[in-house]
Amino acid sequence: MNAIMELRSTTPVGLLRDGYHNVFAGCIRSSSKICCNLFGAVPTEKLPQCKSSSLRHSKVKLKCSVTVNGGSDSFSGDTELGPSLVPQASELADARVIYCAAPAMGHNQELHPECNSRVPAILDTLQKMELTPEFRGKEVIRIQNFRSASVDDIAAVHSSAYVMGLEKTFSESMLAAGAGITVTDLVVAASKITANPPSGFALVRPPGHHAVPRGPMGFCVFGNIAIAARYAQRVHGLQRVLIIDFDVHHGNGTNDTFYEDPNIFFISTHQHGSYPGTGKMEEVGKGPGEGTTLNLPLPGGSGDQAMSAVFEEVIVRVAQTFKPDIIMVSAGYDAHVLDPLANLQFTTNTYYKLALFIKQLARELCGGRCVFFLEGGYDLRSLSYSVADTFRAFLGEASISSKIDNPAVLYDEPLLLVDKAIAKIKAIHAL
């Protein structure tokens, strides 16, 4: 079995999987794709001088065959074991985007909108738009070998009875959650060595923001963003987490998970009256978490002007008051005007501006730490180009939305209703 890595480094790397190690070794050469033999599972107890509390610093002798640009080499030496394939510090400092993809190809139902074509369509478009490491070199890092989430990671959000009761979708859902954890690890690591760390994006499915602590809901199995938020608190000590959810549907699972938590501020903008019918303005949190949940249902037809006003008048003010340690984003692209499941009028340019503004907000408030998680988006073309333009925002490049968006499909936004909604939510939260 071979593993393809698009990481550039000059030192051996290792991959930790929960309780055992799938071990890779090799001297990775600059600007090269490398095929390393996967030596298989090595039980943790058989690793020399290796303890779970110090795995990042444990070393083990390995031999590895490496194929670079058609030629073969062998490498023998020490390799460091860590929780993911970790780029060197210099690579993290130079990167502008770090991403993982977990397409869950086996998790599919014929003719279902949340299909296994979604992530591949995004990856194809990133390649077509020359936004991948192959074209961007050190600016973009794609992590292709990363650990699944552990049961403990999942159980920090979901009930153990639910987790253990899953079968068919278990491994792919664990991998999706693991992708978010991996990207979080790397963004946090980068923020320790540069004031301008890369933005992260977990291009994963199944999506997660509808999954409630006791079980699945909507198209979601595990709450990927909620799991990563708890992980950031537990592992990295980033106690104050701001979650922004701009999916067209209310992120009820994330809402419920943190409804009584004062250290996680959850903001959701969603279409009024859409699935699952939750997310009323009056839902503001409970007990110690009262005031750290903000739900803003938008009237049908809301689009770029509405979201720009919401960001400036609501999201920025909340973020500045809350002072987060990290910003996480449930990035749903189903508010796009061409998406079949709702009736908002976001465009590629709307998503570009959201990414640009959120990245800037993170730089101002929390050392640039910002991680996006794919949620909805079911028109493959608008989904793919919107994600690609999100990448361009992360890279600090101009939007190409004028070449993609069709103004002829847009109609007047209900701005009076939007203004009333903004005024009401500002009054409720004293903004």
> Of 210, 272, 336, 429, which residue is the catalytic one?
210
Q: Strands across the sheet with 16-17, in order?
A: 16-17, 20-22, 41-43
The CB density around residue 130, as the number of other CB atoms within 10 Å, is 10
Which residues neighbour 46 within 8 Å (Cβ) at sequence distance 6 or greater? none
Q: Which two tokens stand for residue 407?
A: 């103004």
Instruction: Quote the CA–CA distance of 127 and 135 in Å, as a whole number.
Output: 8
CA end-to-end span of the chain, whole Å? 56
168: burial class by Cβ within 10 Å (0-12, 13-18, 19+)?
A: exposed
Strands 97-102 and 199-204: parallel
Residue 217 Cα distances to 100, 222, 253, angstroms = 24, 9, 8
Q: Count Cβ atoms below 10 Å from residue 75 Cβ, excluding itself.
A: 16
Q: How many CA atoms lie within 13 A of 293 on its CB side?
A: 27
Q: In which residue are the tokens 């209900």 written?
A: 414
For residue 418, give the amino acid letter: V
- Compute and round to an integer the Cα radius of gyration of the chain: 21
Rounded Cα distance between 168 and 151, Å, is: 16
210 is known as an active-site residue: yes
Q: Is 133 exposed, middle or buried (0-12, 13-18, 19+ CB in 10 A)?
A: buried
Tokens linked to 366: 């929390």
Name 295's Cβ contacts closer than 8 Å, sequence gap at least 6.
250, 255, 268, 270, 279, 280, 281, 283, 284
- 268 contacts 294 by C-beta, under 8 angstroms: yes
SS3 assignment, position 98: strand
Residues forming the active site: 210
